[in-house]
Every structure is written in C-alpha cells, then in structure tokens.
Amino acid sequence: MAESGDRAIYSRTMTMPPALRADAHAVFLDFDGTLVEFDDDPRQVAIAPAALERLAALQRSHSGALAIVSGRRIVDLDLFLAPLTFAAAGVHGLERRVVAGGETLMLAGPEALDTVRAALAAPLAAMPGLSLEDKGTALVIHYRTAPKLSAPALEMMQSAIADRSDLVLMQGEGIVEVHPAGMDKGRAVADLMQEKVFAGRIPVYVGDDVTDEFALAYVREAGGVSVKIGKAQSAAEFRLEDVTALHRWLGVRAR
C-alpha cells in the first residue's frame, strides 16, 4: 500500500463490492461518470429508464436512505431524474435535500463569487475553446472538448481567485471548479449520515472522479462500502469497471 499525501492509495484491481442490504445500507451515488456516461455537452447526458426504475425501487426498499451526491445543482439533477426526486447533495454539498421532494437548503450564496465572475469574463472571451458554467454557488470552466486547454483553464481560475483564502479550487474530469471553502462530498455524506433517514445505517458510496475521493475516504474510514468506478488511483476498497458495471451491480435489468 503506497501513500499519496495524507491519503492511502490502494490496488487498482477490480474488486466487486458486496450486495446492497436494504435493512442496513445508506446508499450515496455520484451522477456523472457513475450513474450516467459523460457527454461533451453536460446538458445532454441521459439516464437509462431501467436504471431510473431501479433507483426508485432502491429508494423504496432502503426506506429513503438513498441520495445523489454531485457537483451539479440539485435543480439540474431533478431534470435528469424526472419524474422522480431523491435526497441529494448538490454542488459538492453546498446544496442539501435530506428527503425526496423536501426543501433544498443552500449553504452559501452566489454573491461570494461576484469578483471571480468579473475576473473570468475577459480571459474566457479571448479563449473560445473554454466555457463557463455558473452554478450560483460554484463556477466551472469546462475544457472537455478542448483538452489541450486544461493548463490555461487552471491558470485562468487560479489567477481569478488569487488572494481569496475563502474559496477552494478543485479539478475534475474536464473541468476546473471554484466554490466557497469548507465543503466537499465527504463532509456532505458525513452530514447526511446524521439525518434521521440515514442515521444508524452503513454508508455506501460510489463515485468515479477526483472530487469523489473525499467521500470514498470518509466512507472507508467509517467502516462502510467505498466503490470506485474505473481504474484511477483511489482510497476506495472496491471497484467497478464502468457505468454499465455499476448498473449490473445495482440490479438494473438490460432491455
């Protein structure tokens, strides 16, 4: 077992996670790259109808202890998962919905990023291969369609948040994101585990990206089931090869 910073890095062997237990597990699932395949246009992703039906069945069998944990806004997750709603942590936990159909709570406001928006306007206009997604509580530069611009995208965001210790920069699959400090997916899952619907259960987390590592590390340390999608380095104990493998593990029936 090797070390990377403060986090342990484990084998990349595809180790199948145990079956979900309706009476014991609290299930937390990332969205992009986990439940759905990536798309160059994030607005065009789609979840298979059979997978959506299976999520609804899991939500019922687990007494509501199933949440979607994503960098996306909860309102956008609802569009992709319609007509269903789920407990959720959006924008890496800066948005929270404890129960399906419940109120969405915002832990930060968009005004914290006003100076960053202004600083990014001119450089983004001069580099059309990059695009900005404004989530209100987070700003994301996308370079998936222009991978050679990954370094300029990072430098641009770093310059925009210079001297802002209250903000955190994160890199993910084809993106550079900035949002208020003090929150990540691990903290979001830990907070949700204190809520009545999840409390007393064993946490299960499945995710594919660097931003999921916070949650995977938390769940493993908490004695839960940590599942990495893909072959990238991870603190997760278990692995699944891809989105299709996750669907099979969840029990989604092919059509």
Choosing from 30, 32, 208, 209, the catalytic residue is 30
Per-residue tokens: 60: 């019922």
Backbone angles phi and psi of 12, in degrees to 5: -95, 10
Any catalytic annotation for residue 30? yes
As to burial, measured by CB atoms within 10 angstroms (0-12 exposed, 13-18 middle, 19+ buried), residue 166 is: exposed
The total of other beta-carbon atoms located within 10 Å of residue 75's CB is 13
What gap in Å lies between CA 238 and CA 138, rounded to an integer?
A: 30
Contacts by residues 39-48 (CB-CB < 8 Å, ≥ 24 positions apart): 40/144, 40/145, 42/72, 42/133, 42/142, 45/80, 46/80, 47/80, 47/81, 48/247, 48/252
Positive or negative torsion for Cα 249, 185, 96, 25: positive
Q: Which residue has the tokens 């299976």?
A: 54
CA dihedral 25, 84, 104, 41 (to 10 degrees): 100
What gap in Å lies between CA 251 and CA 248, rounded to an integer?
A: 5
Active-site positions? 30
